[in-house]
Structure formats: structure tokens, C-alpha cells
A = this chain, B = another copy of it.
Amino acid sequence: MCELLGMSANVPTDICFSFAGFLHRGGGTGPHRDGWGIAFYEEGGYREFRDPHPSVDSPIARLIRDYPIKSHIVISHIRQANVGQVRLANTHPFTREMWGRPWCYAHNGQLEGWQELPLGVCRPIGSTDSEHAFCYLMGELRHHFPEPPEDPQALWALLHRCCERLRSKGVFNLLLSDGVRLYSYCSTKLAHITRRAPFGEANLSDAELNVNFAEHTTEHDVVSVLATEPLTDNEDWVRMVPGELLVWHDGEILARFLPEAD
């Protein structure tokens, strides 16, 4: 299994602390030695860093850990290859422009029969089930909404239906963003925590590192972090339920979709 890490915040926030713990799972405390990547939505745009080498040995990962890039939304992924060989083109996150916005996507899990998922304009560059599923998602959204919808509720409901279809094909834990909102969908494993005033201390589970958020924040800050498994051992993370889609904005949950009752 791969590992996902996401962040949504109401002020530009660096993810150095969480990334330091996450990094260790890439060949340190975890088995995810097949590449990693991280994408940042900053005030003025979007950028990503990807490396097909284990994150724990990567000079680029060390740069990200030590160079605070402040952003509203972050999506990161550490890969343990199952479908598709270890190469840069198969390294998450994946990106496509739609409606003049940079969409970013990372997936944890494995799908069956993914080759049959219909594609629109977006085509995979690499050979993974994950990127094919991303191109399918983008195709469905664009097919129903050639222009960005005025009412985002309809978009979110469509996204939830597409995610449910993907979950029916295997394991599909997802982080997705267009730079305004962050979407998290749980198939088997995804947990989140929202930090706000009064801020406390946090201890990383995977590395000997402790941070007192009170020293780095103001009382108005709201910062939510999502991860496959909780990253700290002294806070109460919320585990998402299978089939749940959360829409995040400025660190808060804006909407929640659950599977239809059988």
C-alpha cells in the first residue's frame, strides 16, 4: 500500500513537521521505497516535486523538509509499486489542467478492470491504474461540465458517484484538489485532524520530533492534515468511513457525502 498526506489550511502554512514524519515511511519505518511526490498550491500558483527514489534518501525530499513552502493546500504521496514499474512517469501526484486550474491527484490502493474505464481528453502518460483512474475522473467531470459549474454541489455529487464506481473496482483512497478545495475520499484508510486555537504539542509517531504549534500559529489559524495512518501519537485523529467524500476549504469541512444506504 502507498501512503497519502494532505493539508488544507486557512493561512499559508508549511508542512515541514508532518512531512518529516511522512518522509520516514518512505523506506525508513515503512516499506514504500518506490518514489514519492508532493504538490503545493501557493498564493501565486502550483508546483510539485517528484522523485522516483526512496524519500528517506532523496536530496529533494530533504530540501522540502527543510525549506518551508507556505501553502493553503498540499497533496503528497509515497509509493509502493504494484501496478506499473518504478519510474518517474508512475510517481504521484499526477496533474492535469482543467477549466484553467491545475488539478492534482494522488491515489492509494489497487483497482481491477481499470483498463475499461472510459477516457476523455486526458490520457495517461505512465502505466498505472492510478493515473488511468485520474484521467477517467477528469473526463467525467469535463463531460458533464464543459465549463466550471456555477453550483459546486452538483460537481461534488458527481465526483462522489465516480469515486463510488472506482471503489467498486478495488481500493480507492483519494486526495484531489483544484487549488481552491481539497477532496478526500475513503475506500479503506484515511484519517484527519483539524488543529485550531488553543494549539498544543504534537509528537510524531515515525520520528523523534515534537512541535509546539502554539509557537508557530496565530489564534485564527485552522490547519487540517489528512494521512493514511495518523502521523502523531498524542492527538485524536478521525478515521473516515468507507465511501465517505469530504470537501475541504480553508481547513474546514465544507461538505460531506456518504454512500447511499443499501
Contacts and interface: CB of A to CB of B under 8 A. Distances in A.
Interface stretch (A20-28, A59-67, A194-202, A221-229): A59-67
Q: How large is the interface on A (under 10, 10 to 19, 20 to 34, 35 or more residues)?
A: 20 to 34
B96 A123 contact: no
Nearest to A119: B100
Nearest to A51: B47
A96 to B, nearest CB: 6
A45 B87 contact: yes
Interface string A207-248: 000000000000000000000000000000000000000000
Give chain A's interface secondary structure class: mixed
A122 interface: yes
B87 A44 contact: yes
Chain B CB within 10 Å, residue with most, of A44, A49, A52, A90: A44
Contacts of A96: 97
Given A63-B59, A123-B97, A125-B101, A47 B50 contact: yes
A140 interface: no
A43 interface: yes
B45 A88 contact: yes
Interface string A107-143: 0000000000000011111100000000000000000
Interface of A: 42-52, 59-60, 63, 67, 86-91, 95-97, 99-102, 121-126
12 contacts: A43-B87, A43-B88, A44-B86, A45-B87, A45-B126, A46-B125, A47-B50, A48-B48, A95-B95, A97-B123, A100-B123, A101-B125
